[in-house]
Structure 1
């Protein structure tokens, strides 16, 4: 374990923490809006950087590079197709959220349906973060850091014990960030991390190609482009792990949900100072998604040539970082991975606190006619976040024993929670008379049906196609209920916020350019391009 790697890691990590502290040292966190939404003061740079970094957790560094190594570039479909989803969110969902002054995404469900629907969805969100988000972020970060620093070899600890210790340390550091600093401290650190991530992407790509080419980056590029070309293909066949057709079915549904309804993601945009700022910020995050393959996929391609017989494929990314980079830059990349994990972990914790306090705890106090004030509410949120950290630290190390692999666990677990919520929210957005009972019935039907298709009965369909079929059936059922038992009066969206909700004037030009760039990326990594 090189001292230079450790020093470089600590220097950049402490720099990010220092900048975050300096920028937030005078902020007051005594109210829920200040603690959970940064007083709705974010400009587009903060929003774009935070969205990008919150998504770019260690899960993606580990999982996507492992997928490229074992399969091909088809995993890139998740990131590229999310550009379309993000632009749909910017155009259609963000105006609604900001007009109603939403603090959480289920706030729309309360206005569209009723309080019970809002609470049901809030509980589903919380379960998703318990089972999927928080534990996988800690596990992914621990695997990456151990792979870069070789902590298990240096200390003599078993692999499981090393991962457990690292999970504990990351959980404590991330918890301090969130509990003491609130959303604004998280977001400011994301801006600095975003700059570092772009620099790290270029450095890792350059040194990786040079290592692959025996000292010549051009030779490395030539090797990657002319050998094992099957790994360069992002257009998965119908029988492959990730068929290209899923981009138009379950993958699209999950992406729209993730960028437009997932609380820990949307909370970054709900904190914007205006609708135009949120739309610009989302567009900036789309630019980051176009560059993301340099860190998420290209290292996996290099590893195909460098390590043809890896047994623990989850170590693809950290092994490459450790082997090809000079120690100072390896420490820098480790700090970026650590920062990306902290960003997602912190955003998830902040959203957990928001959902619990605003949608469950505060309504419970009101129902019991108990007096409460803002400081008491924030304190309850912090205590709840602490309990979640303890649970995640205990559970995370055991993810390594999941039979389908880390990335498979990540996607299947998220699908269980995401598309059912997307379904009832989508129906709520596009209809005016569908009643609350339809939302509750749709939610229950979707969850039960998905469990049956994945864990009880065997189907020959890809799980993303199953999600799309269940989506169509559930929507049809909800519309039928709406036809038979419509609401007496159609829903009318009422503007209840003082935020400027004028859209970004020139957005369509930028949206069009981003969509063209997305399509070109698919062409590049296809049999029409590099995989020819």
Structure 2
């Protein structure tokens, strides 16, 4: 345990020092310097930050938990994200970067009106504070409490162990985000990403070796791989039945609900898109988005496959009770404890900690950005200088972080898997946000009345699907897509009945070089081919059953 603690502290301090060194000379008093990293991020840093913002403990614990309880159909959350990132690269970014957009709500004000901007700003902030930030802290704590055996060491209950880790993680995350700005977040993301690649890929590799020992095997990688691919072929099938419910992902959703849900998350979610808006030019921003699509395919090996390995290994050993509702969320930490050598456990814990910080401080930075630029400054700070605006953003970040810390331990009582909880909660906000961006960019005629109608309509329809018994028999993403279709029709009706009096055009802010990535479309085609091959391999034609 002493070695684990030394490794953990050493790697964590190393990341902090390197992030400080890379950003110590940055001007964080300006809005662009603090909130958008001075619009100077290269493509590889954008891709790394996109990945680490998304790839946190709630993914490692929650998505692997879904695979444990379901099948490889869970990989839809990862692999098919590449399609949404292409939409970001070729549809959203050229228009947003041309207009010098800093936040999604800022675009809403530019395209619609102030009321629309504030309405969506509040929706983002509620989703971040109530759903994302507490869940990020809680899911990471689930893993770290197990790794460091905090309950037994301190002789405390599970709740207090979770609370201690949530508090510690939240405080450090606030320090990164509030005092370092987006650039510190982005560089710490990239450094942690290197560690996560090493530690994250080590878990399934070591897990396969462990599978090789089952049934009297010698423990070779080949024996373990054969056991993985042949013992439970139904787990290797990514094409779930159309009537399947979560954690399975029915195959029709790949072309409907999952597609529009991923477009919302990767192309219009402020905490994600903010990295791309900080690109030094359009080409680098597009590189970041497209490269992130490739990395999402590799994610399957880190945050889906270990769930399948955990199912085979832990159930064979009788180390987990699959009848318990929370068994899935316990699977990944238990697998890590089972296969990770004690000599490198501290390093892996530090990588896990970095992943938690990455998502937490990224969302916190986005919350500060939205509040400072889209709510406080237009209402109370019209004459405030940039330094004052940044200071207000920091204060708000501190408040939000403290609130999230106190909410986070209670996530354990929400009665559902971590990822299901997050995704179902986002369902209350996702489609109105997505449609307002898509129609705002692609239509010159849509007027501000459309988003004002769709928001309450969406909340009523989606909320009804949570209480009507018939609706609960179907995967919730079917209803997300149903909302998308209904609300798109509302937009089309509004364009026909009450269009804008004058056509709207995105202004040219001339903030950067807008030349597109020359080979971007070629790499996009390669990315699509990779996704198609993955689904062929994980089908009844090859590995699935």
TM-score tier (shorter): over 0.9
Q: CA deviation at 1:429?
A: 2.0
- Give 1:315 shift: 1.6
Mapped to 2, the partners of 1:276 and 1:79 lie a distance apart of 24
Residue of structure 2 in register with 1:404 after alignment: 416
Query: Which shifted more, 61-70 or 423-432?
Result: 423-432
Instruction: Write the mapping of 1:40-51 to structure 2, written as runs, cut at 5 A.
Output: 40-51=39-50
Superposed CA RMSD: 1.4
Is 2:395 the counterpart of 1:388?
Answer: no
Measure the CA separation in 1 of the matches of 2:145 and 2:64.
16
C-alpha distance in structure 2 between counterparts of 1:313 and 1:494, whole Å: 49
Residue in 1 that maps onto 2:347: 332
State the alpha-carbon separation in 2 of the partners of residues 504 and 182 from structure 1.
27
Alignment pair present for 1:473 and 2:465: no
| Mapped partners of 1:209, 1:65: distance in 2 | 15
Instruction: State the 1:478 CA deviation.
Output: 2.0
Q: 1:454 aligns with which of 448, 466, 477?
A: 466
Structure 2 match to 1:357: 372
Alignment-derived partner of residue 344 in structure 1: 359
The worse-fitting range, judged by mean Cα deviation, of 394-403 and 202-211 is 202-211
* Residue deviations 1:360-403 (CA, integer Å, cap 9, x gap): 0000125xx6x422222111111111111111111111111112
Q: State the partner residue of 2:101.
A: 102
User: What are the residue-to-residue correspondences of 1:73-92 with 2, within 5 Å?
Assistant: 73-92=72-91
| 297-306 vs 276-285, which moves further | 297-306
The one-character-per-residue Cα deviations of 1:60-105 (angstroms, maximum 9, x if unpaired) are 0011111111111111011111001101110110001100000101
Q: Over residues 109-131 of structure 1, what are the superposed CA-to-partner deviations in whole Å (9 max), with x where a residue is unaligned?
A: 22221121111111111111011
Contact 2:210 2:313 in 1 (8 A): no
Whether the 8 Å CA contact 1:119–1:360 is kept in 2: the answer is yes
Q: Give me the whole-angstrom Cα distance separating, in 1, the residues matched to 2:347 and 2:334.
A: 15
* Conserved 8 A contact 1:152-1:158: yes
Between 400-409 and 261-270, report the one with greater CA deviation.
400-409
Deviation at 1:457, TM superposition (A): 6.3
Whole-angstrom distance in 1 between the partners of 2:58 and 2:201: 20
Q: Is this contact kept in 2: 1:36–1:354, CA < 8 A?
A: yes
- Deviation sequence 1:396-439 (CA, Å, 0-9, x none): 11111112232221110112111221122222222211211122
- Corresponding residue of 2:240: 236
Aligned counterparts of 2:296 and 2:434: Cα–Cα separation in 1 = 22
Give the distance between the partners of 1:357 and 1:509, measured in 2 at CA: 39
Residue equivalent to 2:264:
257
What CA distance in whole angstroms lies between the structure 2 residues aligned with 1:344 and 1:64?
Answer: 15
Is the 1:212–1:219 Cα contact (8 Å) retained in structure 2?
Answer: yes
The alpha-carbon deviation at position 254 of structure 1 amounts to: 1.2
Distance 1:181 1:493 in 2: 31
Rounded Cα–Cα distance in structure 1 between residues aligned with 2:487 and 2:201? 45
Deviations 1:123-160 (A, max 9, x none): 11111101111111001110111122221122221111
- Which structure 2 segments of 5+ residues have no match? 214-218, 322-326
- Equivalent residue for 1:17? 16
For residue 501 of structure 2, give the secondary structure of its aligned residue in structure 1: coil
2:530 is the alignment partner of 1:517 = yes
* TM, length-normalised to structure 1: 0.96
Greater alpha carbon shift after TM alignment, 139-148 vs 91-100: 139-148
- For the 8 Å contact 2:137–2:356, the answer to whether it is kept is yes
* Residue 323 (str. 1) matches residue 330 (str. 2): no
Q: Deviations over 1:244-295 (max 9, x none)?
A: 1112122111111111110010000100000000111112212211111222
SS across alignment from 2:104: coil
Is the contact made by 2:431 and 2:483 (CA closer than 8 Å) also made in structure 1?
no
Are the aligned partners of 1:110 and 1:118 in contact in 2 as well (CA < 8 Å)? Answer: yes
Q: 1:461 to 1:320 in 2, by over 3 A?
A: closer
Match of 1:205 in 2: 204
Q: Give the TM-score normalised by the residue count of structure 2.
A: 0.94
- Name 1:58's counterpart in structure 2: 57
Distance in 2 (CA, whole Å) between partners of 1:229 and 1:239 is: 20
Shift of 1:456: 5.5
2-structure distance, mates of 1:485, 1:462? 35
Q: Hey, what's the Cα distance between the residues in 1 that align with 2:144 and 2:353?
A: 8
- The within-5 A match list for 1:56-455 is 56-214=55-213, 215-241=219-245, 242-308=249-315, 309=318, 310-311=320-321, 312-366=327-381, 371-455=383-467
Structure 1 contact 424–443 (Cα < 8 Å) conserved: no
CA contact 1:424–1:442 (8 Å) conserved in 2: no
8 A contact 1:8–1:332 mirrored in 2: yes
Alignment check: 8 A CA contact 1:149 1:322 kept: no
Preserved CA contact (<8 Å) 1:37 1:271? yes
2-structure distance, mates of 1:456, 1:377: 45
Does the CA contact (< 8 Å) of 1:29 and 1:182 recur in 2? yes
1:520 Cα shift? 0.8
